[in-house]
Every structure is written in C-alpha cells, then in structure tokens.
C-alpha cells in the first residue's frame, strides 16, 4: 500500500486536516508546521493525488521544465525559455523523466512542495496522463510538442504536415520525381504528418510513391545510413531523399558518399528541424526549419500568462515551419 495522507500526518505530528491545508495553501498555518509537513512528505515520498491537492497559484518566481533528457537537441528551446523567463524575473528548475516512475515521484514531490509556479513540458513519453492530472488539479502547464500530441491543456506546436509539403514542392521544383523517404518512428504523429504532406504533394503532381520508396526509420544517423545503403543494394532508383529529421538526413548523406554518388547532382537531400548538424554536413543540408527558439519563447510567455491568470492568455499556439535551402539540393552558382 502506498504512503497516505494519514502517514504524513503521523510523521509530522499534525492532523490530516492540517496536512490537507498545507497541500492546498489554505488557512493560517505557522511556518514551523508547514516545514514539518513538507519534511514528512519528502521523507516518506508521498505523492498527492489530484483530489488531495488543489494547487493554488504559487509565488516562487520559478518555473519547472520537464524534458525527456538533457540532450543537445533541446538546447535552442531551453535557451529561449531561460532568456524569456529571466526577462520576466523568473528562474528555471530543470527536471527529467528518464528515471521513469522515480522521476514522476520526484515531480510529485516538487509540486507538493510548491517548488515552482508552473510547468513547461517537452515530449513527456509515458508521463502525459500524470501531467494532465496535475493540470486538472490547478497547476499551469504548457506542452512544447512536435509529435502531434494534443493534450487537454495549452501547447505550442509546429506545422509538421506543411513542412513535409514544403520539402516535396522544393524537390519537385528541382525536377526530382523519384524521391525516397526515411521516416521517423511510426507511432509519432509528426512522422505521419510529415509523410502525409510529402506524399500528397507528389500525388497531386501525378507521382505515387511505391512502398519500397519509404524506409521506416527511427530519427537516428546509423539506421538511416543502413536503410539507404540497403535501398541502393536492392536496386531502388531515386533522385532525392527526404529524411524526417536532420540526423537521419546526415545518415543519408553518409550512405550516398559511401556509394560514390554526388550530392546534389545525383541525389538531392532534404532534412527536417534545422539543428546544428544541418550546417556541418557536406554539402550543407537543405532542411525544413522547425522554429525551436520561437517555440521555447512562445511556450514560456504562454505559461506566464496562465500563471498570472491573464485574461488574454491564449489556449495554444502553432508556429509555422520554413524551408532553409543549402547545398544538398542546390549546387553553388558557377557565376
């Protein structure tokens, strides 16, 4: 049986009603009592349910940010969040969910102790239900998402389908009529959106992509390199490749170099995201820019609006993608 509010009360030497009042910030309670209750919560690992804690607006001037891990891919978003919050007099507390249930337990403790006034979340695999419960209990939450999750609370997202369309139109404008696609994981909504937009534009041009022209990938460099190498070995003919993110597209470029093909003369390559690696491939990668910094800033401002209970607070925001053209699709001018 899990730790109960009665256990917390017993450890702190107070009544269950007092514990509930501390959790809900209700009534006149001495700092000593509050300290005892919070210490007991921490020692016992008590995680309040949505019914046990009606979260009131905090006054910590801190915002929590929950990320899958501390990988560099989130750097643009996090930097924009930090800059936006600092300009508004708020600090940032970073949290990860790579510890599974233990991470969620720690998150519950942070919320119970009112360590922050609101929560920003990036791609909470396995945690969305718990975060939704916290939001329903009164915690301001904003999701920063590119995988087409649409929760019951505010989010900031981008236009994945339109990004796929932009990649397809660019390749068609260059006369590339035999594309290969290296997708992301099937279970991600963004994979279906990017693929759907790309395939539809080619269909409108009278070109149907064959099943073997679509390689199921996982957003990783090595698997994309292997997938393209296998397509070449199988005799699949293509004059362009659309990788569903930039590391995938970098793997595509590596495979093409290893096969002795020239980029973009023989095969044009387009990625998605416009992260740092896109500028370091050879040739530099044409890619659909996902507005990471803009998404981070927008999410921080949206969350602060909800923390402050601003009547102008928007429910959600969608920020469009844009195409960044580099040498992997257009050779330098000979002029």
Dist. CA 49–CA 88, nearest whole Å: 31
Residue 72 — very low, low, confident or very high, per pLDDT cuts 50/70/90?
low
Q: Is residue 312 part of a domain?
A: no
Q: Is residue 169 part of a domain?
A: yes
Angle between helical axes of 246-258 and 221-233 (0-180°, round to 10):
40
How far CA 14 is from CA of 8, 26, 53, 273, in Å, comes to 8, 15, 17, 53
Q: Is residue 207 part of a domain?
A: yes
Sheet with 240-243: strands ordered across: 214-215, 179-182, 240-243, 268-273, 286-289, 322-324
End of a domain among 290, 311, 327? Answer: 290
* pLDDT score, position 57: 41
Is residue 317 within a helix (H) or strand (E), and if so which, with residue range?
strand 317-319
- Is a pLDDT exceeding 50 seen at residue 247? yes
Total count of domains within the chain: 2
Find the mean pLDDT for residues 101-122.
75
Mean pLDDT of the chain: 86
- Is a pLDDT exceeding 60 seen at residue 212? yes
Find the mean pLDDT for residues 289-313.
91
Q: Is residue 206 part of a domain?
A: yes
CATH classification at residue 211: 3.40.50.2300
CATH classification at residue 16: 1.10.260.40
Is residue 172 within a helix (H) or strand (E), and if so which, with residue range?
helix 160-173
Residue 308 — very low, low, confident or very high, per pLDDT cuts 50/70/90?
confident
Q: Is residue 92 part of a domain?
A: no
Residue 79 three-state SS: helix
**136-176 per-position pLDDT tens digit:** 888 899 998 766 666 788 999 999 999 999 999 999 999 99
* pLDDT score, position 335: 38
End of a domain among 271, 290, 309? Answer: 290
0.85 surpassed by pTM: no
Q: Is residue 125 part of a domain?
A: no
Contacts of 169 (CB under 8 A, 6+ apart): 201
* pLDDT score, position 4: 78
Q: Is residue 175 part of a domain?
A: yes
- Is a pLDDT exceeding 90 seen at residue 122? no
- Is a pLDDT exceeding 90 seen at residue 192? yes
Structural domain boundaries, residue 251: 160-290
Contact criterion met (CB below 8 Å) for 144 and 155: yes
Q: Is residue 122 part of a domain?
A: no
Residue 38 — very low, low, confident or very high, per pLDDT cuts 50/70/90?
confident
Residue 15 three-state SS: coil
- Is a pLDDT exceeding 90 seen at residue 235? yes
* pLDDT score, position 55: 44
């Amino acid at each position: 049986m899990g730790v109960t509010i009665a256990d917390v009360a017993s450890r702190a030497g107070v009544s269950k009603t007092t514990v509930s009042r501390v959790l809900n910030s209700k009534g006149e309670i001495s700092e000593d009592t509050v300290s005892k209750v919070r210490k007991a919560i921490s020692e016992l690992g008590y995680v309040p349910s949505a019914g046990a804690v009606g979260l009131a607006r905090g006054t910590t001037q801190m915002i929590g940010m929950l990320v899958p891990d501390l990988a560099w891919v989130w750097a643009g978003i996090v930097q924009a969040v930090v800059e936006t919050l600092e300009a508004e007099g708020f600090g940032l507390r970073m949290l990860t969910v790579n510890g599974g249930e233990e991470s969620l337990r720690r998150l519950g403790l942070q919320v119970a102790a009112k360590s922050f006034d609101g929560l920003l979340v990036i791609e909470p695999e396995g945690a969305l239900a718990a975060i939704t419960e916290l939001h329903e209990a009164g915690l301001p939450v904003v999701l920063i998402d590119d995988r087409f999750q649409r929760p019951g609370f505010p989010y900031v997202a981008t236009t994945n389908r339109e990004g796929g369309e932009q990649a397809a139109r660019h390749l068609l404008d260059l006369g590339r009529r035999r594309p290969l696609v290296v997708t992301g994981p099937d279970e991600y909504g963004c994979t279906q959106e990017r693929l759907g937009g790309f395939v539809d534009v080619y269909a409108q041009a009278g070109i149907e992509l064959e099943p073997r022209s679509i390689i199921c990938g996982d957003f990783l460099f090595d698997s994309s390199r292997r997938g393209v190498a296998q397509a070449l070995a199988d005799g699949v003919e293509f004059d362009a490749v659309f990788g569903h993110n930039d590391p995938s597209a970098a793997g595509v470029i590596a495979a093409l170099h290893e096969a002795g093909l020239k980029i973009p003369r023989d095969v044009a390559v387009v990625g998605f995201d416009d992260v740092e690696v896109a500028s370091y491939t050879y040739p530099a990668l044409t890619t659909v820019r996902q507005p990471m910094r803009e998404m981070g800033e927008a999410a921080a401002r949206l969350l602060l609006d909800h923390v402050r209970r601003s009547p102008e607070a928007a429910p959600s925001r969608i920020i469009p993608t844009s195409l960044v053209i580099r040498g992997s699709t257009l050779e330098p001018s000979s002029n």
